[in-house]
Homo-oligomer: A and B are copies of this chain.
Amino acid sequence: MQLLGPEAADRLYDAMGSARETSGGSAANTMAGIAAMGGRAAFVGQVAADQLGSIFAHDIRALGVQFDTAPLQSELPTGRCLILVTPDAQRTMNTCPGASHQLRPDALDEALIRSAPLLMLEGYLFGPELPRQTLFHAVEIARSAGNRVAFTLSESVCIAGRREGFQAMIDRGGIDLLFANEEEAVQLTGAADLDGAVRALQLKVPTLVLTRGAAGALALENGARTDVPAVPVQQVVDTTGAGDLFAAGFLAARCKGHGIERQLMTGGIAAAEVISHFGARPIADLAELVRL
């Protein structure tokens, strides 16, 4: 993943092949997945008052996710990500954050955040100063209401320049539940391997969830480690959204009171669905897949 300015994004887009447009965004994908599995979810994030912003708002509301953040009124367009996917399902993400990185602390709906037992934050907004302050403010609101806070590392690039700030947030107990994939966890901790990263992180967060692609996933909670295998996929088409949907399945099962193994398995089912087609939002009926 790399961040691009508007001009570089236009240049890349001109050189790209024809494409398909779908709504995305890490936390938005997770909320979409939770709603698709019958959970209640709201999304806080900022689009612009343009066609792509309208499409984003339509799609997430159509899934039953509450989305009330007002569009940004400025020259900045709705954020977009130009994603190039190879035939073997590897992807390059070129993100032009646009309005999304202008999310201000005063755009937060305090009553909404207080009403949610769990607040989920995405690492993509942890890089730039303004949205990071907004994340911190959201955590304050959630904490003051006694709610839990989950955080997904998103991409290591978002944390790279902010490792100290992020470690500080973890160290002061700001995160109850941390999602990361293997590479992100290793990079964040500077460990030599997965086990090293697990040792470094497991004491810092009450619940640690690590995804490992085809190697499955694991959780550390209450001092116990639970591993699950990956859900088999006929053909991996595009891994975009795998982590987001894993988090969706995990959280949907968790909020229903299921045990940690079932939380991990449900995450794997949702991730398997989203990597079997292009786009980072589920197409198949996730609730039905989980039931089966």
Interface residues of A (CB under 8 A from B): 13-14, 16-23, 32, 50-52, 55, 58-60, 62-63, 77, 279, 281
A18-B50 Cα distance, complex, nearest whole Å: 17
Query: Which partner residue on chain B sits nearest A36 by CB separation?
Result: B18
Among B16, B21, B23, B52, contact of A18 (Cβ-Cβ < 8 Å) = B23
Known: A50-B51, A51-B52, A52-B51. A18 touches B77 (CB 8 A): no
Query: Which partner residue on chain B sits nearest A63 by CB separation?
Result: B18
Q: How far is the CB of A95 from chain B (nearest CB, A)?
A: 17
Is there contact, CB below 8 Å, between B62 and A21? Answer: no
Known: A52-B51, A77-B51. A59 touches B22 (CB 8 A): no
Query: Which partner residue on chain B sits nearest A65 by CB separation?
Result: B18
User: Inside 8 A of A63's CB, which chain B residues have their CB?
Assistant: 17-18
Is there contact, CB below 8 Å, between A62 and B23? Answer: no
Query: Which partner residue on chain B sits nearest A23 by CB separation?
Result: B18
Is there contact, CB below 8 Å, between B59 and A19? Answer: yes
14 contacting pairs across A/B (C-beta < 8 A): A14-B58, A16-B62, A17-B63, A18-B58, A18-B60, A18-B281, A19-B58, A19-B59, A19-B62, A20-B20, A20-B22, A21-B21, A21-B55, A51-B51
Is there contact, CB below 8 Å, between A62 and B279? Answer: no
